[in-house]
Amino acid sequence: MGGAWFTSDTHFNHAMVAGLRGFASAEEHNEAVIVNWNAAVSRDDIVWHLGDVGMRKPFLPLIKRLNGTIHLVAGNHDAVWPGHRDAFRHQREWLEVFASVQPFARRRLGGHHVLLSHFPYAGDHTEQDRHLQYRLRDEGAWLLHGHTHGKERMTFTECPFVPFRGEPAWRGRQVHVGLDAWDLRPAAAHEVEALICERERGQEVT
């Protein structure tokens, strides 16, 4: 049985993102992402791609060059993202290269239940948070996300959310799995779990 990986924001064929990441062309960026991915991920592994796969000219054939069984949580730049009016028209085509396509997901990571979304609870790479109506509500669960293009791997707000019944649950427990935070490669499940465990060990509820 293979391992599990998480990633986001591959942005194949996106010249602007390629330039920001230090590449001379979108094609050079494409090849680097593919090489880094396949150096980490084996054919038997499972990868959760949290959206913004690529741009403009056809890029879905590039996905077939990537190792692993890939599940997609769509991002706002993906034609299949449900925030687009005609997203349903693209489902069949995208399911030819992805094992599943969904707007969000819930997985178990070690001893933790984690949510998966392209968007963080809060944060963006613009001055204001966008697409608020498509973001998951922060009720204290850990969230794995992309979208921000930052170098940070984790954000955490020291403000507990207290449900109607039960113990306080901390807000802002976000792990950024986008390529920009992981040296242009997917993040291994054990790496993400280690971040979560390290943060929880240092967390004190008062």
User: Which tokens belong to 192?
Assistant: 């993400």
Residue-wise pLDDT for 24-72, tens only, equals 999 999 999 999 999 999 999 999 999 999 987 788 999 999 999 999 9
Q: What is the domain range of residue 133?
A: 4-201
Q: In angstroms, rounded to a whole number, what is the distance separating the alpha carbons of residues 68 and 70?
A: 6
- For residue 121, tell me if it sits in a domain: yes
User: Which tokens belong to 33?
Assistant: 């992402």
At 160 the pLDDT is: 66
Q: How many domains does the chain have?
A: 1
Q: Is 66 in contact with 39 (CB distance < 8 Å)?
A: no
- For residue 206, tell me if it sits in a domain: no
User: Which tokens belong to 124?
Assistant: 């963006």
Q: Give, as one character, the DSSP assignment of residue 20.
A: H
Q: Which residues of the chain have pLDDT under 70?
A: 1, 156-169, 203-206
- pTM (predicted TM-score): 0.91
At 1 the pLDDT is: 63
Residue the block writes with tokens 């599943």: 100
Question: Of 22, 195, 40, 179, which is closest to residue 114 (Cα–Cα)?
Answer: 195
- For residue 111, tell me if it sits in a domain: yes
- For residue 193, tell me if it sits in a domain: yes
- For residue 14, tell me if it sits in a domain: yes
**CATH code of the domain containing 134:** 3.60.21.10
At 56 the pLDDT is: 75
Q: How far is CA 204 from CA 142, 159, 166, 201, in A?
A: 16, 11, 16, 8
At 158 the pLDDT is: 61
- For residue 34, tell me if it sits in a domain: yes
Terminal C-alpha separation, the chain? 41
- For residue 151, tell me if it sits in a domain: yes
Q: How far is CA 129 from CA 14, 45, 73, 171, 175, in A?
A: 22, 33, 19, 17, 17
- For residue 106, tell me if it sits in a domain: yes
For residue 45, the SS3 value is coil
